[in-house]
Structure 1
């Protein structure tokens, strides 16, 4: 039997950068091929099109790289401001900024004390899934960056002290233990695809998915929406 990865594992500071670069190599070439009308497609993020999501992601990464990532920078008001500031940009310019951010943010995230920006890197990858889903691309929350995304998800849930969950994934050989295994709560159990596990933690639509979850409610797993 393969050992379950547990809460004693230390943070890997290079993991967020690996995730961002891997997603860059998968997503940016797709975005470069899109007609302008595809950027107007609605996503699962309320009120946001593909372009809105990309502008939000690129702005957040730029702020991080330029050391302008203060508290409240990802509030709804700040997000709307960042998107509005890019309203006059071409779609190609938004993609250019996103590519730079995905390339340059890794070392900044790695150097941040206590992994404080690890969740941002994970959120960028989830938003890439939102874009793929809106465009009808396969593997919205999967793809070549899934392996580092799962490892980072486990790390972030441990650092945030979420409820422990033992995940047996259809598309991963090793089981994964998420959350903080403090002994106060027996681990909940999840059985199903890795991409659906991501949807649960990211509060993304679950329509058409199949999974088994025991010992915890879906709402208790949500890291961000």
Structure 2
């Protein structure tokens, strides 16, 4: 299957799904768990959540100056929140989850759809750091995978046919490139997300032919 048509409501549905699934877990977690390191170099769970909340609120408030989501700007947003109480960090994140969907949908070219996908990937980073099931997968993957299809096309990754969990019909990602045959992936959806998002692949099992992991990265 392929997913070239944009559904402008999809990013909002993904964010609301994460709000419903993740926020209760975060609210109930002991505060010292937010100091755990994540797959994001140099960032703790708290840092990841601060970045996520800041990014969504910037979108809601229309504060999208040039370079706003570059690593330097992301680091500055995290540093700005270093003295905030944890409850304030979580409140901002939840506010973003609930309110950012319409603001993202308003960009008719889908420019910010990948931000919603990135929020979901970061939720996977948190789940993995906490040792929770469902990292980069779970029920919300039904919303995330179509966004991954679009992001893989916009980021000019090569065409890939992903056969997830032995499915006979592939998920089609990326772009046709000069007659190059489509690459093939056989594995589960969480591993597919790890590859495209540049997350650790230790302990995974998959078969990738016709492309390298580095060629498929959408976040650099």
TM-score range, shorter chain: over 0.9
Gaps of at least 5 residues in structure 1 are: none
The residue that corresponds to 1:5 in the other structure is 2
Give, in angstroms, the shift of residue 67 of structure 1: 0.2
Give, in angstroms, the shift of residue 172 of structure 1: 6.2
TM-score in terms of structure 2 length: 0.95
**Superposition pairs of residues 9-158 of structure 1, within 5 angstroms:** 9-158=4-153
What RMSD in Å do the two structures reach over aligned CA positions? 1.5
Distance 1:188 1:200, change over 3 A: same
1:213 paired residue among 190, 202, 208? 208
Give, in angstroms, the shift of residue 75 of structure 1: 2.0
Q: Distance in 2 between matches of 1:93 and 1:172?
A: 43
Structure 1 stretches of at least 4 aligned residues deviating more than 6 Å after TM superposition: none
Q: Distance in 2 between matches of 1:139 and 1:218?
A: 22
Give, in angstroms, the shift of residue 171 of structure 1: 7.5
TM-score in terms of structure 1 length: 0.93
Q: Secondary structure at the match of 1:115?
A: coil
Which deviates more from structure 2 when the two are superposed, residues 61-70 or residues 73-82?
73-82
Give the conservation status (yes or no) of the 8 Å contact 1:171–1:194.
no
Gaps of at least 5 residues in structure 2 are: none
